Structure 1
Amino acid sequence: MTDEPLVYVLDDEPEILKALTRLLGAAGLKVRGFTSAQEFLAHERHPGPACLVLDLAMPEIDGLEVQERLRRGGVQLPIVFLTGHGSIPLSVRTLKAGAEDFLTKPVNATELLAAIRAALQRASAQQIEYVELETLRQRLASLTPREREVLDHVIAGKLNKRIAADLGTGEQTIKVHRGRLMRKMGVRSVVELARMAERLGRTPMA
Structure 2
Amino acid sequence: MTESQIPGTVHVVEDDPVLADALCLLLMSRGLSAVAFPSGEAFLAAVDADWPAGPACVLMDVRMKELSGIEAFDRLRARKPSLPAPVIFLTGHGDITMAVDAVKNGAFDFFEKPFNDNRLVDRVMQAMAESRSRLEHDDSSGRIRNRLDRLTAREKDVMELILKGRLNKIIADELGISMRTVEVHRSNVFSKMGVRSAVELARLLENLDD
Q: Does 1:36 find its partner at 2:42?
A: no
Runs of at least 4 residues off by over 2 Å: 85-92, 196-201
1:50 is the counterpart of 2:53: no
Contact 1:57–1:63 under 8 Å retained in 2: yes
**Does the Cα contact within 8 Å between 2:57 and 2:128 map onto a contact in 1?**
yes
Amino acid at match of 1:29: L
TM-score, reference length from structure 1:
0.93
Corresponding residue for 1:112? 120
* 1:123 match: 131
Structure 1, 136-145 or 60-69: larger mean CA deviation: 60-69
Take 2:141 and 2:67, find their aligned partners in 1: how far apart are those partners?
A: 33
| Structure 2 residue matching 1:7: 3-state secondary structure | strand
2:93 counterpart SS class:
coil
Name the CA distance, whole Å, in 2 between partners of 1:88 and 1:34.
Answer: 22
1:62 pairs with one of 62, 68, 72 = 68
C-alpha separation between the residues in 2 aligned to 1:148 and 1:4?
40
Instruction: Give percent identity, aligned residues only.
Output: 39
Distance in 1 (CA, whole Å) between partners of 2:96 and 2:62 is 14
Matches within 5 A, 1:65-144: 65-74=71-80, 75-86=83-94, 89-144=97-152
Alignment pair present for 1:170 and 2:173: no
Q: Measure the CA separation in 2 of the matches of 1:83 and 1:142.
A: 49
Q: CA deviation at 1:88?
A: 5.3
Per-residue deviation at 1:90? 2.2
Q: Is the 8 A contact 1:70 1:76 kept in 2?
A: no
SS in 2 for 1:91: helix
Question: 2:207 aligned to 177, 199, 205, which one?
Answer: 199
Deviation digits for residues 27-80 of structure 1 (CA, Å, limit 9, x no counterpart): 221111111211111112111100000101112211112211221122231011
Shift of 1:87: 5.2
- Supply the distance in 1 between the matched residues of 2:207 and 2:30 (Cα, whole angstroms): 37
Amino acid at match of 2:125: R
Does the residue aligned with 1:187 lie in a helix, a strand or coil?
coil
Using the alignment, how far apart are the partners of 2:180 and 2:23 within structure 1? 66
Aligned residues: 201
CA contact (8 A) 1:86 1:104 kept: no
Task: Tell me the TM-score normalised to structure 2 length.
Answer: 0.91
Equivalent position amino acid for 2:112 in 1: T
Post-superposition offset of 1:86:
5.0
Paired amino acid for 1:73: R
| 2:11 alignment partner, SS class | strand
Q: In the alignment, what sits opposite 1:3? A: 6
Report what 1:204 is aligned to. none
Shift of 1:184: 0.4
Tell me, what secondary structure is at the counterpart of 1:61? coil
Amino acid across the alignment from 2:9: L
